[in-house]
Amino acid sequence: MLYAWVAGVKRPPLAKGEKTVCRDCGSQLTAVIPVENVRHWRHKGKDCDPWSEPEGPWHLGWKEAFDVSCREIGLVDQVTGERHRADILCGGGTARATVVELQHSTISEDERNSREQFYQQAHRMFWLVHIHNEASFAGYNFRFSLDFQSRLFNLNGKKFAAMRWAGRSQQFIEKWKRATAHVFFEYEGHIFYLASPKVTSQLGVQLKRGEFALSYLTRDEFIRSVLWLE
């Protein structure tokens, strides 16, 4: 949790030992100021969002790309009382409410499903999946897969390219192809939209196992699409 309310201001902690209260659950929060990682708030007991994961500079950078009022928004399932914090929620309470889940660590298909179920009750949902080599060689595999020359398609002025996953295991790409929310990959600062089954059929392309289609976009275009400006 990178932000909390202190004396009416939503902000990261400023000094070690600083304390405040979580607006979502009422529990005490203490400032953690690590030497080599981002400063954050720690719940006294368990974090009220059971999906909460350690966050680093990648998360911070993306949260800062949106207005502070969109960062870390607590949501409650009215039926089950289940509580989660959206990384980014823009346009909350409107028909254009969009949740962005920042995914740096690996996530199982079950986890992916339950997050989609929770957030898609009342929001459009985007995944922003950070592709890197920390836990696997996903970054190398992704880079070797990129092919924007062989199989090109056009959909409403957007360019798509179909390609084949370069790794031996196709689990990673197949898992994200089955997502029901929109999936964006970030790899070394570049952003790619993964064609959903609906887009794939609009493109008129048949994708075999291990094959997928991407459309490249800039960081600014991604932010604008979260805000419905494109």
Report, in Å, the least distance between residue 43 CB and Zn ion. 6
Distance (Å, whole) CA 60 – CA 163: 31
| 75 makes contact with Zn ion (CB under 5 A) | no
Stretch that binds Zn ion, among 24-32, 129-137, 160-168, 202-210 (CB under 5 A): 24-32
Q: Which is nearer to Zn ion, 24 or 211 (CB)?
A: 24
Residue 44 or 224 having the CB closest to Zn ion: 44
Does an H or E element contain 221, and which?
helix 219-226
| Residue 21 near Zn ion by CB under 5 A | no
Cα–Cα–Cα angle for 54, 60, 61, rounded to 5 degrees: 140
Give me the residue label for tokens 């059971």: 50
Using CB under 5 A as the binding rule, the residues of this chain from 31 to 60 that contact Zn ion are 48
- Local structure of residue 68 (DSSP, 8 states): G
The answer to whether 72 contacts Zn ion (rule: CB under 5 A) is no
CA dist 20 and 202 (Å) reads 50
Contact assessment for residue 47 and residue 30, using Cβ atoms and an 8 Å cutoff? no
CB of 170 to Zn ion, least distance (A): 38
Residue from the set 6, 24, 99, 101 that interacts with Zn ion by CB under 5 A: 24
Number of residues that bind Zn ion (CB under 5 A): 4
Q: Which residues contact 156 (CB under 8 A, 6 or more apart)?
A: none
**Residues 163, 212: contact at Cβ < 8 Å?**
yes
Nearer to Zn ion, 45 or 189 (CB): 45
In the range 109-148, which residues lie near Zn ion by CB under 5 A?
Answer: none
Note whether 207 binds Zn ion by CB under 5 A.
no
CB of 131: closest distance to Zn ion in angstroms? 30
Of the candidate spans 14-22, 124-132, 156-164, 169-177, the one that interacts with Zn ion by CB under 5 A turns out to be 14-22
Pairing mode, if any, of strands 124-130 and 98-103? parallel
Report the chain's C-alpha Rg in angstroms. Answer: 19
Residue ranges binding Zn ion (CB under 5 A): 22, 24-25, 48
